Amino acid sequence: MGCSFSGLNALYDAVNGGGDVWINENRFKVVRQLGEGGFAYVYLVKEVVSDSSSALASGLAKKVKDPSHLSDDRTYAIKKVLIQNNEQLDLVREEIRVSSLFSHPNLLPLLDHSIISVKPTQEGSWNHEAYLLFPVHLDGTLLDNSKAMTARKEFFSASDVLQIFRQLCAGLKHMHNLEPPYAHNDVKPGNVLLSHRKGKCPLAILMDFGSTRPARKQIRSRSEALQLQEWASEHCSAPFRAPELWDCASDADIDERTDIWSLGCTLFAIMYEVSPFEYALGESGGSLQLAIINAQIKWPAGPKQPYPEELHHFVTWMLQPQPALRPRIDDIIYHVDKLVTKFSQ
Ligand SMILES: Nc1ncnc2c1ncn2[C@@H]1O[C@H](COP(=O)(O)OP(=O)(O)OP(=O)(O)O)[C@@H](O)[C@H]1O
């Protein structure tokens, strides 16, 4: 694990108009904040180079395995993770390890990282900060895009819905086909970056491997089942969480099809902005957990639906509450390819 850094809390200084950020031997200027998560801040940064050489000749070029990940204008995204205890440190180390297993155009690559020790301002033990460097995608997440479109009373075309979805399937197939298979565990529109392309449907990239783990687990006792539910309640976003992670049997074989459930919810959300179960949160006495366990989908009301029935059937097929009967990623890809052919303009 690389751990060199030129100054304590340097990123804060940079944001406040001070110095630059170093990740190992490479230096970056913070341009602005792009977003934030639970314990993380994401910044747009620009690599600082000593001469005006091309991106390929920059310091980063020596580190990055695939030159197509280098940006022509040297801009990237840095995620700064605040780490307060050993458990959080292990989680970030796992995110870094897992990210390095993947190499796929629809999965966000980790280009470099460093973890540094920082002395807290008040008395106390030393803590850590992790800096993760990624390619930057400035058109926002699928969630940001859906919200903006809903505000304008617009919808993605059926063709774009399917092609965005098809790309997410391609990224997930890469993870599900590893030996052992990995589950993303937090597939949702907020974890998909979009990049608009002229004359083509947007590029969709799945990110945030903080919850990604080997997918297959044999649950053989009540305490193992409860442990899994507790882990899921912290790591898998509730409206997109599969039923077996809410109410796990004491004798259950969990596999990567937890992601297929989330994928079904995500297809619904590409069309209608929210998870198909989110309505339960707005109903008095409504229970998200019950709606999910019973697979009670609420389709938008109204006589004229913006999408063909086939897309609704496709969502329902993925939202099979019994995991053993739920389709696998190859089944989904076979089906989506047929729909893409049918509905592409
Ligand atoms: N590579 C990137 N390019 C552009 N924006 C990004 C990039 N990575 C992250 N972001 C922005 O930063 C936000 C937070 O990133 P991310 O989801 O990785 O953080 P997190 O702490 O894991 O979040 P959460 O707590 O929701 O899981 C994203 O929603 C997105 O808006």
Tokens (6 digits) for 227: 């442990």
Nearest residue to 325 via CA among 242, 247, 238: 242
Chain-wide mean pLDDT for the chain? 91
Structure tokens at 168: 């997410």
From the list 81, 151, 153, 149, the residue with the least C-alpha distance to 110 is: 81
- Cα(62)–Cα(64) distance, integer angstroms: 6
How large is the C-alpha radius of gyration of the chain? 21
pLDDT at 157: 94
Q: Which part of the chain has CATH 1.10.510.10?
A: 140-342
Distance CA(107)–CA(34), nearest Å, equals 19
Q: What is the pLDDT of residues 10-43, one digit of tens each?
A: 454 444 444 689 999 999 999 999 999 888 999 9
Identify the pLDDT of residue 5.
38
**How distant is the alpha carbon of residue 173 from its chain centre?**
15
Domain with CATH 3.30.200.20 in the chain: 18-133
CATH architecture label of 18-133: 2-Layer Sandwich (3.30)
ipTM of the complex: 0.96
Q: Name residue, tokens 């340097």.
A: 10
- Which mutation among 42, 76, 78 tests ligand 1's pocket best, with the greatest number of atoms within 8 A of CB? 42
| Ligand 1 atom at minimal distance to the Cα of residue 211 | 27
State how far the Cα of 167 lies from the Cα of 121, in Å rounded to an integer. Answer: 45
pLDDT at site 53: 58
Nearest atom of ligand 1 to the alpha carbon of 186: 27
- For ligand 1, residues with CB inside 6 Å are 34-38, 40, 42, 77, 79, 108, 134, 136-137, 141, 190-191, 193, 207-208, 210
Question: Which pair of tokens denotes residue 312?
Answer: 């609704």
Place of tokens 């002395």: 119
Q: List all residues 6 or more positions away from 52 whose beta carbon is below 8 Å from its beta carbon.
A: none
Judge whether 329 and 279 are in contact, CB under 8 Å: no
CA atoms of 326 and 98, how far apart (whole Å): 25
pLDDT in the model for residue 89: 95
Which CATH architecture best describes the domain 140-342?
Orthogonal Bundle (1.10)
Q: How far apart are CA 297 and CA 17, in angstroms?
A: 49
Stretches where the chain sits below pLDDT 50 are 1-10, 12-18
E strand residue ranges, the chain? 21-23, 26-36, 40-48, 75-83, 112-118, 127-135, 182-183, 192-197, 200-206, 213-214, 217-219, 252-254
CA angle 287, 290, 295 (to 5 degrees): 125
